[in-house]
Amino acid sequence: MRLQLIKIILLLLLLTRLIFSQESDPVTDEDLSVTENSSNSNKNHTPIDVDFLFHYYEQDGDHSAVTGGKGTEELKDIATQIIVNIPLDSVSQLSVSGGMNYYSSASTDNIDRNVSSASADDYRGQFSLDYTRKNLARRDYYGFMAGGSSESDYISVSIGGKWGKEFNDGNNSVDLLGRAFFDKWMIILPDELRIINQDHIETDNRHSYYFSLTYFQILTRRLQSSLTGEFVYQHGLLSTPFHRAFFENSIIPRVEKLPNERFKVPVGLRLHYFLGDKIILRLFYRYYYDSFGIYANTISLEMPLKVDKFFTIYPFYRFHSQIESKYFQEFGEHHLGEDYYTSDFDLSSFHSHKVGFGLRYEPLYNIASLKIPFSGKALSLKSFDLRYANYQREDGLKTFLISTHLALMLF
């Protein structure tokens, strides 16, 4: 399956190269006329950016939270998304995004005892709007956003706002962002626990509030930096109703139970160093703490290398280490007197490694383009990205991801 997917993605890359070829046919008078007309038209009409994203994700492991921290974690996910950035005038822009996920999960299939196979599947759809307006005189901007997503067992809506300002001729900037998410669950319990009163589940709502502050600075001609502080506050149903927890000397599980409040405090530092015209070093570090008792450190390195005027490759590596939540225990190790309990290995202590590479194709501006019949418009290729990543966690969880990003411009 993996080999077939890789072949398909490579074929897409080859077709993109052939369709939007740099080695174009000899230019005719008709072509020159179209180009001139398009150029004149662009003076009055800013191009629309259109981004198509696709990914295929696969994982496997043996610590499913659905079955109490022991059991298959097999999952496959296919996702598509389209983002359209529409300039409304010279200072404002509207971004519209929509996407769909389809996944098949063996662990979710174990909510019921009637296990069919790794065929339990579901769909998730999401939609968002983002409006931004700039003030060129003050060199700042503000914006608003709203969105929503839906799956078989939950629905979520969000609203937010943002503001940013540049200083010192663009060498420094500050950005503020705030978002609120309002989620509503459909309570689905493991089938053997549905007749037992779960009085600790007091609500089917979850509210999350996210705030971030980012400071950007150009330190030298070659070095850029940004520092981001974030704060997340959540309250409501923070446990997952169909996660089981098993206890010492007992074969009867309970439904996972976690506090109804949680806050998270990540702080991240990003450095970009330009080694020359063809190599950039991108370094990222993040420290994380939350009220569940998790401490974590993450460091990643990416090194884009421009192979020629059209192609860039960028290998990357990410290391993550965390200390487990005070509410976590492995399968069968919880005590009956505990107030809160979970066997979700996402909340455990572990080290993880993520390694991969990306390939980007960027044609010269306005060369890789196709005319759209009967519309008087043209579609130009801005870039095409192919990305592969492999992830391994200390507890045995293994994943791999193939993703593509096709960036187009309509003018």
DSSP 15: H
Q: What is the bridge-based pairing of β-strands 254-255 and 244-245? A: antiparallel
pLDDT attached to residue 399: 97
Q: Look up residue 69 and give its two tokens.
A: 């921290």
| Other C-beta atoms lying within 10 Å of the C-beta of residue 386 | 21
3-class DSSP assignment, residue 195: coil
Contact status, residue 263 vs residue 360, Cβ threshold 8 Å: no
For the stretch 325-379, pLDDT in tens is 999 999 999 999 899 999 999 999 999 999 999 999 988 765 656 777 766 777 8
Token couple for 49 = 């950016």
The predicted structure's pLDDT at residue 205? 96
Q: pLDDT tens digit string along 26-62?
A: 333 333 333 333 334 344 468 899 999 999 999 999 9
Helices (H) and strands (E) in the chain, counts: 2, 20
* pLDDT given at position 117: 42
* pLDDT number for residue 45: 63
**Residue 359 to residues 45, 54, 303, 312, 353, Cα–Cα distance (Å):** 31, 15, 12, 6, 20
Confidence (pLDDT) at 115: 55
What residue ranges of the chain have pLDDT lower than 70? 1-45, 113-119, 365-369, 374-375
Residue 267, φ and ψ in degrees, nearest 5:
-135, 125
Query: What is the DSSP annotation of 84-127?
Result: EEEE-SSSEEEEEEEEEEEEEETTGGGGSSS---TT-EEEEEEE
* Distance separating alpha carbons of residues 296 and 220, to the nearest angstrom: 30
Give all domains of the chain, ordered by start, each with its CATH number: 56-359+391-397 (2.40.160)
Buried b (16+ CB within 10 A) or exposed e, 4-21: eeeeebeeebeebbeebe
The end-to-end CA distance of the chain, in Å, is 38
Only one residue has tokens 């192919």, namely 386
**Which residue pairs from 136-141 have beta carbons closer than 8 angstroms and sit at least 24 positions apart in sequence?**
136/91, 138/165, 139/165, 139/166, 139/167, 139/170, 140/164, 140/165, 140/166, 141/165
The answer to whether 54 and 101 are in contact (CB under 8 A) is: no
pLDDT at 249: 86
